[in-house]
Structure 1
Amino acid sequence: MLPGFRFYPTEEEIVSFYLHSKLEDKNPEIDRVIPILDIHQFEPWDLSTHGEVCLGDAEQWFFFVPRQEREVRGGRPNRTSASGYWKNTGSQCHVYSSGGKVIGVKKSFVFYKGKTPKGTKTKWEMNEYKVIQQDSPSSVPQLRNEVNVCRVYVVSGSFRAFDRRPTQAAGNDQVECGNSEGH
């Protein structure tokens, strides 16, 4: 990459461009930007060595994560590794387009070392993004689950907001995503 280049997409860009493009197989080169990887087979601190664009980024790493076989059969995904597990930290929340339309959902997780439920919380966090199917015949929004995007990062203590969506685009009455960890 050229000096000064940083891959820092907004949540809207992650869902509406990258994840949507991957699901629709619109851009085969997109795997160079966000690699396909079952991140749950790795420790979070080993993930920074995967991917061409995010390689060496000290802040965050993005991955397309394929749906696990147990999810296909209606089960819950396995979010454990050899040394710990990813714990959901709050309720699922919406990702909005700049026009105020709901385009996806986001779940937040924290990595705990050890076995559940007695693991030790680490500074590793993850956001999991899924697309909402826009042309669903049902009035209830349907999620596209074939692939999701996970953003893995280390909490630095900085209050810089990840989502740089303009606040005036859809009004200020939308409820922001929160979780029980206070982030």
Structure 2
Amino acid sequence: MAIDSSSSSTSLAPGFRFHPTDEELVRYYLRRKICGKPFRFDAISEIDIYKAEAWDLPGKSRLKTRDLEWYFFSMLDKKYGNGSKTNRATGRGYWKTTGKDRAVYHRSQIVGMKKTLVYHIGRAPRGERTNWVMHEYRLIDEELAKAGIVQDSFSVFWSKMEH
């Protein structure tokens, strides 16, 4: 019988926290996911991030902690089949990008990009802003690019609710 690891949850021992840096999210977790390598500690759920409303994300997290932060892997949904624009609409709202993309560095080399999104209820452009924030990370890896490995097949997301 196969076990669906995407639905299993993990509780960390008291005192332990899962707080990877931006660099760790990109260089370890996202790179391993894209390359199909296993994790020592499987802390990040794989979901279709834009099929879930912001308030449903905590229940989809593999980690069950008191922290108001959740991590996910997701494939990006392109708005148009051959385009680069991402469809960030959910059933009841949408994730709106804010600010400019920021580089994630390892030493002085760019290894990824980070985009910040805020959840809005309703439809653009009249949606109502909420306190739900998400950061989308994508990998930039010259070695994988030279090997012909597609790097935008997955992104890693860090979601939180701000007070």
**TM-score, with structure 1 as normaliser:** 0.74
Deviation, 1:28, is 5.5
> Within 5 A, what are the aligned runs for 1:5-24?
5-24=16-35
CA distance in 1, matches of 2:14, 2:59: 19
Contact 2:97 2:117 in 1 (8 A): yes
Runs of 5+ unmatched residues, structure 1: 138-142, 157-183
1:154 pairs with one of 137, 157, 161: 161
Q: 1:71 to 1:29 in 2, by over 3 A?
A: farther
CA distance in 2, matches of 1:70, 1:115: 15
RMSD, matched Cα? 2.1
Deviation, 1:78, is 1.5
CA distance in 1, matches of 2:34, 2:66: 25
SS of match in other structure, 1:109? strand
Q: Deviation string for 1:93-133 (max 9, x for gaps)? A: 10011x22110001111111111101111111111000002
CA distance in 2, matches of 1:66, 1:89: 20
Q: 1:27 to 1:153 in 2, by over 3 A?
A: same
Q: What is the aligned residue count? A: 149
SS of match in other structure, 2:125? coil
Kindly, what percent of the aligned residue pairs are identical? 33
Q: 1:96 to 1:45 in 2, by over 3 A?
A: same
Q: 1:118 to 1:150 in 2, by over 3 A?
A: same
> Within 5 A, what are the aligned runs for 1:1-183?
1-27=12-38, 32-53=42-63, 55-68=64-77, 70=79, 73-97=82-106, 99-135=107-143, 136=145, 144-156=151-163
Runs of 5+ unmatched residues, structure 2: 1-11
SS of match in other structure, 1:145? coil
Deviation, 1:51, is 2.8
**TM-score, with structure 2 as normaliser:** 0.82
